[in-house]
């Protein structure tokens, strides 16, 4: 599955637009991670616990978006984007979305 943030894939042409696809995940740090992150925030600097959580959440959202596109018969996703929002002070929602298409080599 080709996934790009641009509106087209160089060297290919979209022969069919299938439509919007998305993948969603909601993550929360466990108590240990929250305590560790809280202590790091006092000293300043990067909070590695949250970086790792967000990297995993984004990958899971992408994987779910790709699966959604496959279920619809697409072989590519164009205009891929992320959206993120806090659900509470300990939970984060990550949404990956894009347009599922069928592409062919030019």
Q: How far is CA 1 from CA 35, 70, 79, 97, in A?
A: 39, 8, 14, 14
Residue 80, both tokens:
């891929």
DSSP H or E run through 38: helix 31-43
Per-residue pLDDT at 37 exceeds 70:
no
Reported as a single tens digit per residue, the pLDDT across 83-106 is 998 887 778 899 999 999 999 999
Residue 34 confidence (pLDDT): 56
CATH number for region 2-105: 3.30.110.70
Domain ranges of the chain: 2-105
Instruction: Give 30's pLDDT tier (boundaries 50, 70, 90).
Output: low
16-37 burial string, b = 16+ CB within 10 Å, else e? eebeebbbbbebebeeebeebb
Q: Give the pTM.
A: 0.84
58: which residues sit within 8 A by CB, 6+ positions away? 82, 94, 96
Average pLDDT along the chain? 88
Per-residue pLDDT at 60 exceeds 70:
yes
């Amino acid at each position: 599955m080709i996934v790009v943030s641009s509106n087209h894939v160089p060297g290919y042409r979209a022969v069919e637009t299938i439509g919007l696809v998305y993948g969603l995940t909601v993550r929360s740090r466990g108590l240990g991670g929250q305590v560790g992150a809280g202590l790091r925030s006092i000293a300043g600097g990067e909070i590695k616990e949250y970086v790792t959580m967000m990297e995993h959440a984004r990958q899971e959202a992408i994987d779910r978006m790709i699966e959604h596109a496959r279920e619809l018969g697409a072989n590519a996703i164009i205009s891929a984007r992320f959206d993120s929002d806090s659900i509470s002070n300990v939970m984060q929602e990550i949404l990956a979305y894009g347009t599922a298409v069928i592409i062919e080599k030019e």
